Every structure is written in C-alpha cells, then in structure tokens.
C-alpha cells in the first residue's frame, strides 16, 4: 500500500471515529431538541424539521474495510513471491 493510501486510510478512520463521537453528543442533546420542538409547535404551530441524509460513517467504514482487505491481499501476494 502506498504512503498516500495509508494516509487516506488513517484520515478515513479519524473521520469515522469523529462521526461516531458526534453522534453520541447528538444523542445526549436530542431530548433538549425534542423539548424545543414541542415548545415551538405549541407557541408557533410549526412542525419540526426532519433532516435525513446518507450515512457517511457507514460508507467510510466500508471503504476502510475494502482498503484494509486490499492491503492484506497485497501483503499475502508479496509473501508468496
């Protein structure tokens, strides 16, 4: 695996870990956000917004797994040469 790929893999892992940490923080803040949504609806009659998006942490994890498998396969090939 090239140095560039090793750096990319390291960055993917760091991004994945940070996303998971932020999700934990969001989980802690979610009850407060729910309370604010309820208050907003009671005061202004507005529905809460819903923001669904693609799961980037899952995509990063799959790319990490692919890159690691690729690296391991290359190492196995070099051992058999």
CA dihedral 70→65→51→19, nearest 10 degrees, is -110
Q: How far apart are CA 33 and CA 48, in angstroms?
A: 10
3-state DSSP call for residue 12? helix
**Tokens encoding 44:** 């202004």
pLDDT in tens, 37-72: 888 788 877 665 566 677 788 889 989 999 999 999
Global pTM reads 0.56
**Tokens encoding 40:** 């907003």
Q: How far apart are CA 78 and CA 81, in angstroms?
A: 5
């Amino acid at each position: 695996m090239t140095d560039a790929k090793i750096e990319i893999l390291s960055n993917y892992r760091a991004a994945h870990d940070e996303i998971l940490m932020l999700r934990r923080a969001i989980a802690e803040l979610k009850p407060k956000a729910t309370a604010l949504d309820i208050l907003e609806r009671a005061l202004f009659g507005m529905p809460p917004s819903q923001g669904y998006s693609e799961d980037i942490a899952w995509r990063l994890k799959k790319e990490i797994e692919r890159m690691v498998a690729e690296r391991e396969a290359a190492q196995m090939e070099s051992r058999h040469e």
